[in-house]
Structures are given as structure tokens and as C-alpha cells.
Amino acid sequence: MTDMRRTILWVVFTMSLVLLWDAWNKHNGRPSMFTPAPPAVTASAPPPDAAGSASLPAAAGTAAGGGAIAAQAPAVAAEKLTITTDVFRAVIDTQGGSVTRLELLRYEDQADAKQTVTLLDSSAQRTYLAQSGLINRQDGGGPFPNHTTVMTALPGERSLAEGKDELAVVLESPVVNGLQYRKTYVFKRGNYAIGVKHEVLNTGDQPREPQLYLQLARTMPANVSSGGFFSSFTSPASTFTGPAVYTDATKFQKIDFADIDANKAELPPAADNGWVAMVEHYFASAWLNVQPAQREFRVNKTDSLYRVAMVQSLPTLAPKATQTVETTLFAGPQEEKKLEQLAPGLELVKDYGWFTILSKPLFWLLDKLHTLIGNWGWAIVALVVLLKIAFYWLNAKAYQSMAKMKVVAPRVQELRERYKDKPQQMQQEMMRIYREEKVNPMGGCFPIMVQIPVFIALYWVLLSSVEMRGAPWVLWITDLSVKDPFFVLPLLMTASTLLQTWLNPTPPDPVQARMMWIMPLVFSVMFFFFPAGLVLYWLTNNLLSIAQQWFINKRLGVLK
């Protein structure tokens, strides 16, 4: 029974660390141990004709009874507008009025501190675009202005001036098949939610039936697996990257790139609410429309671009009539409290894996502690202290059981030697000793197993929270989301793990005894590459566990 308990704990510990190690490799762009490397992706932006004729709204329009988007020959040359605010440096291409580049000025690139995080992009390395336009609900009814149509930028400021809270950028399309499309971007100071107003004017003498599509398109990141036999085992240990869809009825749905490749993506039915998003570690983009209006959801892949879109039906436009739709393009950090205020369920783009039900309250508590303390590192320490207090009696029972096992260990070892050729009699004598000493060989297992989900959930909080990114703790720890530059915390954690091993009862089997010392050393190596915030969490937990275990061992008189 003792061996079984140790075996269970070591299997859980080993598998957890292997999965965490594999997940961190994938986050840093290294190949997974379990899944094949993704195929090479050509990330250059598709040519205008391909972007139009092969776009997701073309498929959506066909499904809804309308024709595909046809590419139009540009009447004038497109230009790229550079927009600067206190949080963004954006590039808007007048061809379609698409956002083709978006830098987040308050976030440094962790690979190059001289650069800022680029969320949207249309470079040779990657493509990630926010697009919108109109399609025709009628089959064969002809094209309307879409994300391939060259628009005209109306005169106005391109930088958010000091003392101003808003900056509006207006683009206007030519008349296409009787419709003119005006798009207005409204950037607000300190805000990652960009207001986007869509105005549709019927300039002709016949009614028109347009649909508005809001689309996000991107190439698959190199460090995201496209699937594999072990993907179901490794995906719980890595934050999600890819499209996502939300409606009030079906709630939050992730869509794997592999499912789009295989045409197996599951989408919610048409609804009068919902949004679409592209999610990655720490950041996300999303098209939002909180006003009730019928909409459909579409995904597809063409020319290496994965697309997710909402297609919203507009009322039939009478001649000379205008229809206006107010939407929001969010593009920025996954700050949970701010996301909750933008749209129902938007905070779910912050990926907690399978442990959302536990992770959300843990983050709430961590955030409250940060408000009181003012430092995320000390907030992590305080949260682990509170959790250890909450689980004190469970831990005490586990450590008392371990301490009693340490007391009877010499007698058990003597039995093993005496009855090594009589396993059945040896087992009976061992159970007799356990009864006499009132020792439960499994007593130290259950209390620890109960706590494992909570501490894994806390791991997800620290892994997923953008608040940790760039957050300092003390002295040399200037960013809790990257590894300790001098490896002080991993070394302390390794030492604490070895001390904890010394306090545990020594297995009577010499092989198991050696493994008790070797395994902590082997797996401690992983923590040298984990984010400092995660190592701080494990170190604090270890130190508090050691203190409690030492106190119980001393009280029971079993210290070596």
C-alpha cells in the first residue's frame, strides 16, 4: 500500500511536469514532444484578387443565398494610413479600409525589448488582418464594396493630439452596384476597443439587399500544432491559439486550426447576438456588435489564411436610404476585468484550459491582493499563503500520515528482509504493524490529491494573465512572465524540493529510495526555463509545505 501511494503521487507529479514542460516549449516556439511540427506556411499576404475571390465572406454569401465577392480593379492607387494614439500605432490600408498592422505601444516584444508587440500584421513573416465589407444577399446580384475595394480617406488628423480623447478616421468607397460604403474608425485614448461605424447608402433607383461581414484572417503561428495523436493530452497544458466564436445560446467555442483544415469546425447556429475573435497567448482581437441583429458565423481557410467572420443581414435598402451599424474592433491584451465590460463572455478569450471554474475565482482573489499590495510578485506569495491556510488541516493529515510512516519504516524494512521469500506473510505482518501503530498507508495521498486541481488552476492563472507580463517583483526579477535571468529562484526551488524529499519517509526499496532523490533533480531542471512568476509560486508552496511538515515531524519526534 505504501508503494502504491508513492507510485500514484510520482505518476501524477511526473505527468504534470512533463505536460507543463511540453506546453512551455510550445509557447516559446519549440516543437512539441508529442505532436509533429506544423507544415511550413507561406505568410506573405495574398494578392488582391485572391483575397477577394477566395475570402470567407464569399463562402458565407453563397451559403446565405448570395454571390461571392468579386475583386474589382482599383480605380485609384491604394495608400496606407499610419494612425498613432497613446496605445496604438496602426496601419489602415485604403484597399478595403482593412487594419493591416497594429502595434501595442505599451507592451514590449519579449524577444526584442526595443520593439513593441505587433498584434495585427501583413509582413513577410505573418499575416493577421481585420477586415469588413458588404456582400449581396441575392444570387447573381453583383458585388458590393468589400475589403478589396479601394476607398478614399477623407481629410483629418492621423495622430491623437494632446488633450484630445478621440481620433476619427473616415474612409469612403466609390459606388459599386448602387451602394456606397463609408467606414469610420474611432480611436479612444487609453482604450484597446476601436469603434467602427459602417454606413451604407443606396445611391441607385432600385432596392438593394446587402449583408455586412466582419472578418479576422491570419496565418497559423509556427508554434501551434495542427493536431496529432497526443494533442488531446498536451492541449490541456497550453493556452489556446486560434479562432473563437460566442453566442448567448452556445457560449464560448474554440475552433482549432486542425478542425478548419479537416472541414470539421463546429459553429453556432445563426443568432441575434454574438461575436468572433482570434485568440493567442496574452492578446486577442475580436469583432463585437452588442446590438441585437441577426448574424451568421463562418470559418474557412484559403491561401494559408484562416478566417473567422460574422455575416450580418441588413434591412433591404430603398433607393436613397442609408443604414448605419455600430460595431467594435477590440485588439489588445486579455485584461479580464476590461473584457467583461465590452461584451458578454469576452473575458473567456483568456484561456484557463480545463480549470476555468477554479481559475476565475483564483484570479479574482489574486487581483484583489494586488490592489492591496501593489506588486504582482508579493500578491502571488500572499495568494499561496492563503491557499495553504485554507488547506492547512488537509495538509496536516497528510504530513501526520507521512510522519507515522517514517516511524514504522525501520520495522517495515526489517519485515521485508525477514519475509522476502514469503510475500503473503510479509503483507500480513505489515498490515498488523499498521493497525497497531494506527497508520493508514494511503493517508498521505488523498489530502494531497484533493489540492492538486486548485494548484494546477493557479498555474493556469499565472500562465494566462497578461498582468504578469512585464510585472517586476524584487531586485533582479523585472518580469514575472519570463525566466529568472540569474536562475536564483529555480536553484532555491531545487533546494527546497530536496529538503522536502529528506523530510518524507524513505522507501524501504533501495531503487525507490534512489528515485526519490533523482526525480526531483531531473524535473527541477525544467523550472530553470519556466516564467519567474510560476517558479515563485512553486517555491512559496514548497517552503510553506516544508515548514508545516517539519513542525509536524518535530512534534511527533521523527526528525532525523
Same structural domain for residues 322 and 238?
yes
The answer on 148 and 112 residing in a single domain is yes
The winner for highest mean pLDDT among 14-18, 46-50, 107-111, 264-268 is 264-268
| Same domain flag for 162 and 269 | yes
Angle, CA of 475, 536 and 334, to the nearest 5°:
95
Q: State the average pLDDT over residues 136-156.
A: 92
Q: Is the pTM of this model over 0.95?
A: no
Residues 14 and 59 in one domain: no
Within a domain: 38: no
Task: State the DSSP string of 384-436.
Answer: HHHHHHHTHHHHHHHHHHHHHHHHHHHHHHHHHHHTTT-HHHHHHHHHHHHHH
My answer on whether 112 and 216 are in the same domain is yes
- Which has the closest alpha carbon to 44: 128, 129, 119, 124? 124
Among 310, 326, 349, where does a domain finish?
349
Do 10 and 106 share a structural domain? no
* 356 belongs to a structural domain: no
Structural domain ending residue among the three candidates 324, 349, 374: 349
- Is 223 within the bounds of a domain? yes
At 167, the amino acid letter reads: L
Nearest in space to 523 (alpha carbons), one of 548, 497, 501: 497
Q: Domain range holding 58?
A: 48-349
Q: Is residue 25 part of a domain?
A: yes
Task: Work out the pLDDT band at 416, boundaries 50, 70, 90.
Answer: confident
Co-location of 252 and 289 in the same domain: yes
Task: Give the 3-state secondary structure of residue 2.
Answer: helix
Q: Give a yes or no: residue 40 inside a domain.
A: no
Confidence check: pLDDT of 344 > 70: yes
Position 418 scores a pLDDT of 76
Whether 53 and 7 map to the same domain: the answer is no
Mean pLDDT within 527-545: 87
Half-sphere exposure of 547 (CA within 13 A, CB side): 10
Instruction: Give the rounded percent of residues in the chain with a pLDDT score beyond 70.
Output: 74
- Are 497 and 520 contained in the same domain? yes
386, three cell numbers: 492563503
Pairwise CA distance, residues 529 & 24, whole Å: 8
Residue 353 above 70 pLDDT? yes
- The pLDDT of 80-92, averaged and rounded, is 97
pLDDT given at position 69: 37
Confidence at 559, pLDDT banded by 50, 70, 90: low
Report the pLDDT value the prediction gives residue 85, as an integer from 0 to 100: 97
**pLDDT tens-digit profile of 4-59?**
444 444 555 555 555 555 555 544 444 444 444 433 333 333 333 333 333 344 43
The pLDDT assigned to 429 comes to 72
- Identify whether residues 7 and 82 lie together within a single domain: no
Which residue's C-alpha cell is 469546425?
Answer: 265
User: Is residue 39 domain-resident?
Assistant: no
382 and 494, same domain (yes or no): yes
Number of domains observed in the structure of the chain: 2
CATH of the domain at 285: 2.70.98.90
* Residues 22 and 91 both lie in one domain: no
Looking at the predicted structure, is the pLDDT value of residue 216 above 90?
yes
The beta-strand segments (E) located in 41-126 are 80-84, 88-93, 98-109, 112-122
Kindly state whether residue 409 falls inside one of the protein's structural domains: yes
Comparing C-alpha atoms, which of 40, 39, 26 is closest to residue 223? Answer: 26
In a domain, 495, yes or no: yes
Among the candidates 349, 380, 397, a domain finishes at: 349
